[in-house]
Structure 1
């Protein structure tokens, strides 16, 4: 079994999705994991990364996979889309796509991802409202695709204030 298959089997066995794995110079093995799409609005936690790291350390040692350092993390806000399942999961989201060959003089496009009609690939709708353009493409025409990060600086909804204890006139806090 290849090291990639070993990593994928381990990650999926822990109930997570393997987004990407790569090896780089110096023996670094980098693994990106995500929650399964069956749990909406659920994100990878530090505990998930730690659990996968510990399991991979044991499995890779048993399988005699040579590596110097292991990194396990979430795919980040600009998550890559690598497979048809990734594209299907993120239909309706804004994505950045880089094509392998230029189309009408450009390779990079940003727009709303849609499924093509009758299994005819994928569509990207972009442009100003009322003047939208559509780019139809197949996965083999794409060099790289990533989600456009959505960042909300408004923060979480405010929690209700804790009930306050009334003060007595002499400054005593007991009710």
Structure 2
């Protein structure tokens, strides 16, 4: 069994060494129908922008691969199976995995899933209204009702792509965008 906590323990210092914050690490099988390959997905961001450019992803991928190889040579195999390493920025409709993510995206729409029932439901979709750092509670308005959701009950959460979110997200690198627009106009 793959120990995701151990993988995070190894990956996080590699991300920090490059000046990145780790957003999420997941290990899963498949992704497409018939795909039996495992994937180690690492999402990271620059703290000042919340994004990574392709060169950042490549640098983190190399560091993680090199570190995993070093550990394997020393007899510490983190992942037994063959796997694909996927390093990316969290993207516009990013996952919300840390308390600071919820605080940073107040006013935007999100989908939040819980590990157990709260008010007879596990899923909430609506505007993030607040985050109470003291109680670690997320306020989300769903169908006109504001729910206080304990952060430790959140099993999965992500922003919902809206015009407001697009307007709030600016790409770091727009090189090549002119060529794409020209091709579409032809």
TM-score under structure 1 length normalisation = 0.70
Q: Size of the alignment, in residue pairs?
A: 147
Which 5+ residue runs of structure 2 have no aligned equivalent? 30-36, 171-186
Question: Which structure carries more helix by proportion?
Answer: 2
Structure 1 unpaired stretches of 5+: 157-175
- CA deviation vs aligned residue, 1:74-107 (integer Å, no higher than 9, x gap): 2233311122122222222211112233444433
Aligned twin of 2:58: 50
Query: 1:33 maps to which residue?
Result: 44
1:124 is the counterpart of 2:106: no
What displacement does 1:48 show? 1.1
Looking at structure 2, the residues matched to 31 and 116 of structure 1 have their Cα atoms a distance apart, in angstroms, of 25
* SS at 2:66 equivalent: helix
Evaluate the alpha carbon distance shift between residue 66 and residue 105 of structure 1 in structure 2; reply closer, same or farther with a 3 A threshold: closer
Indicate whether 1:7 and 2:18 are aligned: no
Q: Does 1:20 align with 2:24?
A: yes
Pair member with larger Rg: 1
The 3 A distance-change label for structure 1 pair 144 and 118 is closer
Cα-Cα RMSD? 2.7
Q: CA deviation at 1:116?
A: 4.7
Q: 1:149 aligned to 2:161?
A: yes
> Is 1:76 aligned with 2:74?
no
Counterpart-to-counterpart distance in 1, 2:93 and 2:116: 22
Indicate how the Cα distance of structure 1 residues 116 and 5 shifts in structure 2: closer, same or farther if over 3 A, else same: closer
TM-score where L is the length of structure 2:
0.66
